[in-house]
Amino acid sequence: MRLFVAIQLSDELKTSLTGMMHELKKAGVKGSFVPTNNLHLTLAFIGETKETPAVKDALKTVQYKPFRLSLTEAGSFGDLIWVGLKGSQGLAGAVKAVRDALDAAGIEYDRKKFVPHITLVRKAAGRWQQVSAPKGEMMVKKISLMKSEQKDGKRVYTEIFSI
């Protein structure tokens, strides 16, 4: 099963981000736009694993306090367009707690440096820099273990556990 640990976004943030994606399309940007239902903030990407029960057990040990998450600037990693996030010490603490719990349980995950962002477009082509990042914020009260699978040729994310 392909897994990742994420923060699911509020409807308000999804609406703001979808508005930016429409602006990108109007500006002529082409690429693989992320479906609104799949917008999220990844805290740890685990990938293919048969260790789902162990991942759930590890996450049960995670302690964090609710915190505010705010959209910041738009940016890119090569041909990937994203919107950044600011979450003060709460976000950094939650990421550290999740990753420490996975480490303690011996769960493998992608150990790239955490850069808080929400992917909007993959394989993007075109000038996007004139499109401003939307405003928005939300309170984070839940962290989710998500399953990623292909259904009818589309990537579908489903929450299978939360803390």
Residues making up the chain, counted from first to last: 163
Domain count, the chain: 1
- Which domain covers residue 93, as residue numbers? 2-162
Which pLDDT belongs to residue 11? 96
pLDDT per residue over 124-134, tens digit each?
Answer: 999 999 999 99
Tokens matching residue 163: 């803390």
Are the beta carbons of 93 and 101 closer than 8 angstroms?
Answer: no
Residue 75: give its domain's CATH number.
3.90.1140.10
Report whether pLDDT(145) > 80.
yes
How far does Cα 42 stand from its chain's mean position? 3
Mean pLDDT of the chain: 95
Name the pLDDT band for 1 (thresholds 50, 70, 90): very high
pLDDT class of 87 with cuts at 50, 70, 90 = confident
CB-based burial, 78-100: b 16+ in 10 Å, e otherwise? eebbbbebebeebbeebbebbbe
Q: How far apart are CA 49 and CA 140, in angstroms?
A: 27
